[in-house]
Amino acid sequence: MTVANASSVKAPLSVIVPCFNEETMIGECLESVQFADEILVVDSFSTDRTLEIARRHATRVLQHEFWSHGAQNNWTVPQAKHPWVMVVDADERVTPELAEEIRTILRGPTHHGFEVRRRNYFLGREIRHGTWGSDYVLRLYHRDRGRYQERHVHSRVELDGRPGRCRGALIHYTYRSLDDYARKIHRFSRGGALNENERGKRGSAWKIFAHGAGRFLKTYALKMGFLDGAEGLIIAFMEADYAALKYAKLWEIQRKTPASSGPKAGAAPDAA
């Protein structure tokens, strides 16, 4: 589906930045989105200097309790001043090339939303292969035509129609260290297990093994992650670890409780 718009006037844009305890990252993120007509930060009650830094760069700063990435964004989007929105995480940067491309797109959008490629960095190196080497995310969209899935983790925008695709890229600084990965993997894998449980998937010993081994082979061999050297090998093990843990936790959940019918309000928050 396309959008007819022959106007040369750029549609105004609201950039939304969700965050929690991102004092080391959010300043550069907000500097990279100064081309927007509004910068709206939604903070999940940070305890560091995130709010202080955000208030220097943002048009508005709101605070809202976090349940999931999708739920947080769906709460924030209606608060935005403009109907075209772009969601940028605190560990991401909009390149000047992408900013200029977005300005051009909004002079006459041809779709209701646009995917952006992420250039992923890990331990100081850009990852060009593996599953991280072809990472597209739908972040720029008309808020009346798209809505985030309200999943425990890995929420994506469900768009009315096929999205367009930007040529420019987002810079994405992923895990900042192996300790950072270790702190986050249990939240991610548990959220993934809850997603699978609510879809009616079953956990088993075979699935724990098959998904872990399969993810490693896909990332390291089929997607040529080995070309990224030691970092590519580490990422392949991390991807395998996540897949195996997700199905192990799914198996654990199903041993203890019956399958859930959907996300529950008040459940433990998980990052996207």
What's the total number of domains in the chain?
2
Cα distance between residue 40 and residue 88, in whole Å: 10
User: For residue 6, what pLDDT is reported?
Assistant: 42
Please indicate, yes or no, whether residues 151 and 37 belong to a single structural domain of this protein. yes
User: For residue 4, what pLDDT is reported?
Assistant: 43
pLDDT 10s per residue in the chain (272 long)?
A: 444 444 468 899 999 999 999 999 999 999 999 999 999 999 999 999 999 999 999 999 999 999 999 999 999 999 999 999 999 999 999 999 999 999 999 999 999 999 999 999 999 999 999 999 989 999 999 999 999 998 999 999 999 999 999 999 999 999 989 999 999 999 999 999 999 999 999 999 999 999 999 999 999 999 999 999 999 999 999 999 999 999 999 999 999 765 444 555 444 444 44
User: For residue 261, what pLDDT is reported?
Assistant: 47
Cα distance between residue 36 and residue 168, in whole Å: 16
User: For residue 77, what pLDDT is reported?
Assistant: 97
Cα distance between residue 12 and residue 34, in whole Å: 13
Please indicate, yes or no, whether residues 51 and 119 belong to a single structural domain of this protein. yes
Q: Is residue 7 part of a domain?
A: no
User: For residue 267, what pLDDT is reported?
Assistant: 47
User: For residue 191, what pLDDT is reported?
Assistant: 95
Please indicate, yes or no, whether residues 225 and 210 belong to a single structural domain of this protein. yes
Please indicate, yes or no, whether residues 128 and 191 belong to a single structural domain of this protein. no
User: For residue 263, what pLDDT is reported?
Assistant: 52
Tokens of 13: 């844009």
pTM, full prediction: 0.87
User: For residue 1, what pLDDT is reported?
Assistant: 41
Q: Is residue 2 part of a domain?
A: no
Please indicate, yes or no, whether residues 214 and 107 belong to a single structural domain of this protein. no
Q: From 173, 188, 210, give the residue that closes a domain.
A: 173
For residue 195, the enclosing domain spans: 178-256
Please indicate, yes or no, whether residues 18 and 143 belong to a single structural domain of this protein. yes
Please indicate, yes or no, whether residues 132 and 245 belong to a single structural domain of this protein. no
Cα distance between residue 42 and residue 30, in whole Å: 12
Please indicate, yes or no, whether residues 80 and 183 belong to a single structural domain of this protein. no
β 38-43/13-19 pair status: parallel
CATH number, domain at 71? 3.90.550.10
Please indicate, yes or no, whether residues 137 and 221 belong to a single structural domain of this protein. no
Please indicate, yes or no, whether residues 155 and 186 belong to a single structural domain of this protein. no
SS3 (DSSP) at 20: coil
User: For residue 39, what pLDDT is reported?
Assistant: 98
Please indicate, yes or no, whether residues 43 and 153 belong to a single structural domain of this protein. yes
State the DSSP code for 25. Answer: T
Please indicate, yes or no, whether residues 159 and 69 belong to a single structural domain of this protein. yes
User: For residue 256, what pLDDT is reported?
Assistant: 78
Q: Is residue 268 part of a domain?
A: no
